[in-house]
Amino acid sequence: MASPLDAIAAARATLARSGVAAVESIDAEVLARHVLGWDRAQLLARGRDPASSEFHAAFEALVRRRAAREPVAQIIGRREFWGLDFEVTPDVLIPRPETELLIEESIDFARHHPCALAIDVGTGSGCIAVAVAHVLPDIKVIAVDTSRAALDVARRNAASHGVSDRITFQHGDVLGGVSEAADLIVSNPPYVAESDASHLQAEVIGFEPHAALFGGADGLNIMRRLVGEAPSRLASGGRLIVEFGFGQERAVRALAAESGWEILRVREDLQGIPRAAVLTRGGRRNRSAPRQDAP
């Protein structure tokens, strides 16, 4: 009987023939370790031993799913984000490394500014809300999403990381149902332009929720609403931290300026692509925000 490492080598060839990107060649190993219940050290130590027929049958079934371009995170039902393990289903976007920029900026802000309440707009899997609550033990978070199914996933992720008591999950659209004024508003909104649908990977367009991907004709419909609604939900001196798409920096800067925001900085991902912006209203108290010293 062939070993797990032999099976992985054969699976990599199968995936390559199916059009799975070479950069994702590790997927075969991830699927094998998922079936075996092994970490990488165990695979290296025992990977040359003969594998059971049960392993081969289960592994080949998962490889067929991946060859059909189903994302590996959905196949195994999880993805790591900010060093934490998150449940992933077809109801939520798969957490991506560039979104960790939002967590970095949230932590940096909280180090220099009292931060009691954050709002996560479009929480999806809850990866932002849970990571922020996990790293900042004194903060409370309101996590908002239009999808009840996504909120169910986010609740389970919050419970698995022990932060359920500090996150309120709210079914709503952008900030329309939120009355509190937060010190921090964070969002990875839908930002793909509808015209770019044909350019998306098969894994994305075929398996991830379109409502969480597409932001209208230019991809900025939700961003427009967010920069318009956020001033009345942001406490004095607070921050709005948002993710945006490839080639959208100039448009985001224009939207911010039109709405009276100042962009403190723009962060680039590991490929040098601008991906996140940190916005402030300056030292002025937002006129429509509730007074923080009100009885």
168 and 48 in a common domain: no
Which tokens belong to 255? 């939207």
The pLDDT of 35-64, averaged and rounded, is 96
64 and 95 in a common domain: no
**pLDDT (0 to 100) of residue 282:** 55
- Who's near 135: CB < 8 A, 6+ residues apart? 82, 103, 106, 107
> Higher confidence at residue 128 or residue 293?
128
Which residue reads 């979104």 in tokens?
99
Alpha-carbon Rg for the chain, nearest whole angstrom, is 21
Residue 83: inside a domain: no
103 and 61 in a common domain: no
Q: How confident is the model at residue 292 (pLDDT cuts 50, 70, 90)?
A: very low
Q: How confident is the model at residue 284 (pLDDT cuts 50, 70, 90)?
A: very low
132 and 41 in a common domain: no
Is the distance from CB of 39 to CB of 33 less than 8 angstroms?
yes
Which tokens belong to 78? 């999880």
Residue 137: inside a domain: yes
Residue 171: inside a domain: yes
> Higher confidence at residue 261 or residue 24?
261
**pLDDT over 50 at 98, yes or no:** yes
Which tokens belong to 210? 């379109």
- Who's near 93: CB < 8 A, 6+ residues apart? 124, 125, 188, 208, 209, 212, 213
Cα distance between residue 38 and residue 53, in whole Å? 17
* Range from 17-31, 116-130, 157-171 carrying the lowest mean pLDDT: 17-31
- Who's near 165: CB < 8 A, 6+ residues apart? none
Query: For 219, which DSSP code?
Result: S
Is the distance from CB of 189 to CB of 215 less than 8 angstroms?
yes
Q: Which one, of 289, 110, 86, 262, lies nearest residue 186 by Cα? A: 110
**pLDDT (0 to 100) of residue 139:** 97
* Number of structural domains in the chain: 2
Query: For 94, which DSSP code?
Result: P
Domain extent at residue 119: 90-280
253 and 155 in a common domain: yes
181 and 259 in a common domain: yes
113 and 47 in a common domain: no
Instruction: Please give the model's pTM, rounded to 2 decimal places.
Output: 0.91
